[in-house]
Structure 1
Amino acid sequence: MTSSTVASESGSNDSLKSTTTKTSEASTKKEPTKSAEKREEDGFANPFEFVLTALGLAVGLGNIWRFPTRAFNNGGSAFLIPYIICAITFGLPAIYLEFLVGQYQRASPPIVFRRIKPILEGIGWGCAFVSTNVAIYYIVIIAWVGIYIVNLFRGHINIWNNCDNAWNNVSTCIDMVAQKQCRTSNPPGWNLTGTETHRPDEFIFLNGSCVDKSLHTGVKFISAPEQYLYVNIIQRSNGLLDINHINWQVFGSITICWVLTALLIWKGMKMLGKVSYITVVLPYILVVVLFVRGVTLEGASTGLYYYFLNPDYSKIMSPRTWSEALKQLCFSLSLGHGGLMSMASYNHPKSNCLLNAFIVIAGDTMMSVIGGAAVFSTLGFLANQRNVTVPEVVESGISLAFVVYPEALSQMPLPWLWAGLFFIMLFLLGMSSEYALTEVFCTCLYDQFPKLRTKKLLVVTLWCTLLYVIGLIFSSDAGFYWFELFDEFGAGFASVLSVTIEIIVLMYIYGHRHMKTDIVEIWGEARTKFGKYFGANSPYWRFNWMFMSPIIGGVLCGLCVWRDYPYNGDGVKYPPLFDYIGWFIALIPGSMIINFAIINMMRFQKAGYPLKTVFMLQKQHKSYPRISEGFTEKQKEDAKLLPEYEPWDVNNNNKRASLSDKSVEEGKSLKDNSKASVKSVKQELQDIRKDMKSMKEQIDDMKEELTMGPMATKSTSKN
């Protein structure tokens, strides 16, 4: 080969090395992404506002209408033992991990997991869909609360305690306030003999008079507040598929609640932080006021006795008790919903997220315990008024908040005041959770498509409208059954599964050692022995994340699946379709893992990247420069195949464009050099062929001369 060929190839290799070197330098000197910069602009004004907003997501309606009855049904104060143990061993580590990852990566859940491995991006979207499932039905409870508040402001404080309204069935409606008249020795309207065989507590106030309850066997009596809720407000039909009409007052209330939610989300995290001063702080003040009022009522000590001082420790040995404690914890703290991680991404990068996690879980537990005490002290008062035991007045589910408690409040002095404080507290608790749940998906969209940040009003309007339309089924007379469907399947199983997968991926795929180094990068090494063993980088956290939390979460997932079918044992109100639709909703978040795995494989291959890059740590991950230093030679070679920037990283458009232009120019130069080299080689080959042809001709001539030579000599000698 000629010297010109060697020179051209050497030039080509130098160009290629130069391009590779520049690419490598670009990968190690990353600038903040647009999404990270926007978080600085849109983030919380101070750490306190972040904590308040996180508390608003964690503390919600479930602390008032779920926790007290679950505690009562599972051993009373004994229930606090498994609940607190679960909070320490599962809840606190999970919150800390979500805060840590969101704050360090400065990104929403889909981006966090995409940077670990694009094949895992669906885990983040699954979290977002868990929040979406809850947001769709959670707003219905707020809408019911809104109707009560409107009636209070209209002066209809006794409307839910009377049996003379148009919606009441007077043949079964019991006026619980007038019921006290039947406890007297000579009650008005008593139409029986009043002999010793008829005790006053065997009589009920029905249709304007006290009657003997034993004369109405087989009749299910319903209190006036219960008829108000289920007949007037909810207008409950006979089953899931028994849809006949639209409930216009619920429809209007849901519409108003969605408008308020959209307005709050549109203003961004800064506005949510400011609003949290009202929506989070005020409910704590109100629940303390209601607690103080409750414990001063006649009979309150009886209710508190059943709540605190009558523990059934045998319940602690039941797996169901532990399952109920952990499910209540996950629902209450919004674990696996993506909201805590998304909010943390707007927090200050150096904020103490371990302390924040302690505050959130302590605040949530405090609201549950104090709220439960306020409820049970009031239930003790109600039991005293009815002359029955506390267990006879305790109701589960929404009946506690919308039937029993309002009835008790209406029998207090200044009932409008206490009822108003109670329902305003519920409304604020509900809204603080609702706007946080709805905002999660919007944050994921902004991170995926940064240009949408300039069109927040459009995004928020479209997203809230979509959820509003999906939730219109709750405005029908069958809406209550659909509410129960979403409440049963929309959060429990999906939430536990989501947070368990999060922990496993971060510990075993990203790596617990990398997580440890990330913590050191944020706050540095522990300076004291206490900080070393009990601080942010304590061995306990990694031990818990690696072993305890995955095992606890896995067991709970199994308990969520293992239950009786059909739901509630009623095949008419809850047909098999109830379970089919429910499990479809529950599995939507999990299906996102498969869907986005396929999407990203197609996306990477379409962009020209090898399939194996979908299974690799991405260069956009904040820890990539540090982690890549420990790569093997093969890993370093594979890393050269990774994309430098995320497709939506508009902050690097100019840089990427200039880099692209340079790459194009260098590519063109390399291509031209290659073409020149090929042309030169072809020319050389042609010259060689000509030389070889010439040499061949010379050889042939020489052969001919050699052959002809002896013959010519012989001919000459003859002559």
Structure 2
Amino acid sequence: MTSQTQSARPKTRESWSSRPAFIIAAISSAIGLGNIWRFPGVAYENGGGAFLIPYLIALFTAGLPILFLDFAVGHRFRAAPPLALRRITKKLEPLGWWQAIICFIISSYYAAILAWALCYVWFSLRQSWGDDAATFFAVDFLKATDPGVTPTVVPAIFICLAVIWAGIIIFAALGLRKGLQLANRITLPALVVLFLLIVIYGVTLPGAADGLNTFFTPSWEALADPTVWIAAYGHIFFSFSIAFGIMLTYSSYLKKRSDLTGSGVVVAFSNTSFELLAGVGVFAALGFLANRQATTVAELEGITGVGLAFITFPTLLSEMPGGQIVGVLFFLSLVFAGFTSLLSLMQVVIGSVADKTGWSTARSAIFSGLITGALSLVLYSTSAGLSILDVVDAFINNVGVVASAIAMILALGWGTKILPTLAAHLNAVSSLHVGRLWSLMIKVVTPAILIVIFVTGTWSYIVDGYGGYPTWFIMVAGWAMLGVVAAASLLLSFSRYRRPFAEDYDPETQFDLTDTSYHHAKGD
């Protein structure tokens, strides 16, 4: 390496202040809106208590192995996805940009859901939805229109969305230690405390026991249904924020002596624990609602997703003693859970821009935040926002994210010879070692399951469409959107890196795996 190249390098690269700071950030990223409104419904619809068996098996055979893979790539190659994968082989840079652009698109609509939750904090104080939460949400609040109808701006959503993006840009521009770490230290404890209060109150309500029995009672026959196992693997995959750049980027900011696998285990089980807590809170509340309506939980509508958060729960709050206070706590929980997850999504975009351009963190954050925020405001602050969000979310997750995971796993497991090096890297810096079983999961088990999920999901969209939307709308918001992502990924790969050390980075000079000082790292 020439002295000229060495002098061109910045003296330091951003890093987490400590391993616990990284763990808190990774947990904050993993714990998002899906933990609160997706896991309880998925578990209930796929065997109740029996779902925990395929869930835990998926955790150990897919969740942890891919999480370790992300950590290894990010930590060893010290960059966001495009540059990190390029440092393995230039052919993989488009895959890195695919992941970064996916995070860009998810960020644009994820912020919209946070804006809804922020608006509902205020609505909860007055219980503005009245006796018909569904009509209030779709008509009075979102002013939702069918595809093809000229959209109009919804002022309340525009304002809340602008507030969300202002907060994201400020925290992201402050950098890792002054921005992200501060946000995580505030929001994660606040989220846990708020949700614990909701759970404690919820389990004391009449009918709560019936709701919990519905959630935990196992349907053992469900274990013979392949779709239940696919649902378990699909949920673990999405819940852990793996294989589309987030954990890879976060681990790239770790110091050299960092226990990667130990950190991964802590993150995984913290995420799982919160999901179970969310399940208890949600189904205790649903049991109360069923009790008040003299029906059963099984007959209630909207027990997962957006319907649970913005229709079923407001209906519940109207029936619940102290509903105004519980409503504020619940929607603040959504805001806190989503804010740090949105920050982690944006960090992939910001890191990719910074690596490519050589800009500072602040400049990259402001640029990325303004571009993503502008797209978010244009698309999702209007009366067409709900329809666009629904289709884009379905296609970006079930096609784009799964395709990213399959491509990354096959490329690293079969297309290159990097997997043994990554295993050696994990073992050199971690207390918990990986071996042949980890390689087997990465090369065989996980890609096989993900391919099944990808083929079944994609084929369903091709044959049946999605959500009853017009074909033209699915083509534009779904398939054409993915085509734009693919084209942009290729174009960005051809542009030149501004940083002179982007091309000559040599991980062997950064990590000497024969150096015993790396082995069994205790962290910083």
User: Do the two structures share a fold, i.e. TM-score over 0.5?
Assistant: yes
Higher relative contact order (Cα pairs below 8 Å, separated by 6+ residues): 2
Question: What is the deviation of 1:252?
Answer: 1.3
Question: Where does residue 291 of structure 2 map in the other structure?
Answer: 384
1:463 aligns with 2:463: no
Separation in 2, partners of 1:32, 1:361: 40
Kindly tell me: are residues 33 and 115 of structure 1, through their superposed partners in 2, closer, same or farther at Cα, counting changes over 3 Å?
Answer: farther
Report % sequence identity. 26
Decide whether the 8 Å contact of 1:507 with 1:545 is kept in 2.
Answer: yes
Find 1:47's aligned residue among 19, 27, 30.
Answer: 19
Q: Deviations over 1:644-687 (max 9, x none)?
A: xxxxxxxxxxxxxxxxxxxxxxxxxxxxxxxxxxxxxxxxxxxx
User: How far apart are residue 86 of structure 1 and its match?
Assistant: 1.4
What residue in structure 2 maps to residue 253 of structure 1? 160
Assess if the C-alpha contact under 8 Å between 2:388 and 2:477 holds in 1. Answer: no
Q: Do the aligned partners of 1:240 and 1:578 also contact (CA within 8 Å) in 2?
A: no
Q: Which residue, out of 445, 453, 462, partners 1:556?
A: 453
1:332 aligns with 2:235: no
Task: Please name the residue that 2:136 is paired with.
Answer: 228
Report how far residue 27 of structure 1 moved: 7.2
Which of these residues, 156, 159, 176, is aligned with residue 269 of structure 1? 176
| Aligned twin of 1:148 | 120
1:360 corresponds to which residue?
267
Corresponding residue of 1:679: none
Letter paired with 2:262: L
CA contact (8 A) 2:81 2:348 kept: no
Mapped partners of 2:492, 2:508: distance in 1: 23
CA contact (8 A) 2:392 2:477 kept: no
1:595 positional shift: 4.0
Tell me what 1:404 maps to: 312
Matches within 5 A, 1:301-450: 301-309=209-217, 311-395=218-302, 396-450=304-358
What SS is found at the alignment partner of 2:214? helix
**Mapping for residues 516-527 of structure 1, pairs under 5 Å:** 516-522=423-429
Match of 2:62 among 61, 75, 90: 90
Cross-structure match for 2:53: 81
Superposition deviation, residue 625 in structure 1:
9.7
Distance 1:626 1:416 in 2: 55
Question: 1:308: Cα distance to partner?
Answer: 0.3
Match of 1:632 in 2: none
- Which residue does 1:475 correspond to in 2? 381
CA contact (8 A) 2:142 2:383 kept: yes
- 1:267 deviates by 0.5
**Displaced runs of 4 or more, over 6 A:** 27-30, 624-627
| Larger-gyration structure (1/2) | 1
**Which of 502, 505, 516 is 2:408 aligned to?**
502
Q: What's 1:621 paired with?
A: 506
* Aligned-partner residue type, residue 61 of structure 2: T
C-alpha separation in 2, matches of 1:125 and 1:440? 10
Distance 2:173 2:236 in 1: 30
Residue 326 and residue 519 in structure 1: after superposition, are their counterparts in 2 closer, same or farther (change >3 A)? Answer: closer
User: C-alpha displacement at 1:62, in angstroms?
Assistant: 0.8
Residues 148 and 423 of structure 1 are in contact (CA less than 8 Å); yes or no, is this contact kept in structure 2?
yes
CA shift digits 1:18-60 (9 cap, x unpaired): xxxxxxxx3799959836x432xx3211111111111111110
Paired with 2:234 and 2:484, the residues of 1 have a C-alpha distance of: 19
Cα gap change, 1:547/1:591 in structure 2, threshold over 3 Å: closer, same or farther?
farther
- Tell whether the 8 Å contact from 2:207 to 2:291 is kept in structure 1 after alignment: yes
Change (3 A) 1:317 1:520: closer
Q: Residue 481 of structure 2 aligns with which residue? A: 585
Q: Structure 2: which 5+ residue stretches go unaligned?
A: 513-524
User: 1:496 touches 1:553 (CA, 8 Å); kept in 2?
Assistant: yes
CA distance in 2, matches of 1:466, 1:86: 36
Quote the RMSD (CA, aligned, Å): 2.6
Tell me, yes or no, if the aligned pair for 1:379 and 1:394 is still in contact at 8 Å. Answer: no
> Contact between 1:123 and 1:592, CA under 8 Å: does it hold in 2?
no
Cα displacement (A) at 1:302: 0.7
Partner residue of 1:242 out of 137, 149, 152:
149
**Match for residue 439 of structure 2?**
542
1:463-505 alpha-carbon deviations (Å, 9 max, x no partner): 2222222222212212110010121112232212212222222
Supply the distance in 2 between the matched residues of 1:592 and 1:81 (Cα, whole angstroms).
40
8 A Cα contact 1:130 1:336, kept in partner? no
Partner of 1:133: 105
Aligned with 2:465 (options 550, 553, 567): 567
Q: Which amino acid aligns with 1:434?
A: L
Q: Helix, strand or coil: the match of 1:491?
A: helix
Distance in 2 (CA, whole Å) between partners of 1:385 and 1:116 is 59
Q: Give the superposition deviation at 1:569.
A: 5.5
Distance in 2 of aligned mates of 1:552 and 1:327 = 9
Deviation at 1:272, TM superposition (A): 0.6
Partner AA of 2:454 in structure 1 = C
Q: Is contact 1:518–1:623 with CA below 8 Å preserved after alignment?
A: no
Q: CA-to-partner distance for each residue in 1:564-585, whole Å, 9 max, x for gaps?
A: 5443452xx4433314431233
What SS does the aligned partner of 1:78 have? helix
Give the 3-state SS of the residue equivalent to 1:44 in structure 2: coil
Structure 1: gaps of 5 or more residues: 1-25, 163-174, 176-223, 524-530, 605-616, 628-719
Q: Identify if the C-alpha distance between structure 1 residues 577 and 412 changes in structure 2 by more than 3 Å, giving closer, same or farther.
A: closer
- 1:67 pairs with 2:39: yes
SS of residue in 2 equivalent to 1:563: helix
Corresponding residue for 2:128? 159
* Alpha carbons of structure 1 residues 320 and 622: separation in structure 2 relative to 1, 3 Å: same
- Alignment match, 2:521: none
Report the CA distance between 1:91 and its aligned residue.
1.0
Task: Give the partner amino acid of 1:577.
Answer: F
Q: Structure 2 CA distance, aligned partners of 1:77 and 1:402?
A: 26
Rounded to whole Å, the distance in 1 between the matches of 2:510 and 2:31 is: 39
Corresponding residue for 1:34?
9
Q: Structure 1: how far apart are the matches of 2:511 and 2:467?
A: 56
Following the alignment from structure 1 to structure 2, what is the Cα–Cα distance between the partners of residues 494 and 33? Answer: 37
Are 2:88 and 2:418, in contact at CA under 8 Å, matched by a contact in 1? Answer: no
- Change in 2 beyond 3 A, CA 1:31/1:457: closer
SS at match of 1:116: coil
CA contact (8 A) 1:566 1:579 kept: no
2:491 & 2:151 partners in 1: Cα distance? 37
Give the AA of the match of 2:458. Answer: V
Which one-letter code corresponds to 2:453 in the other structure? L
Preserved contact between residue 142 and residue 386 of structure 2 (Cα < 8 Å): yes
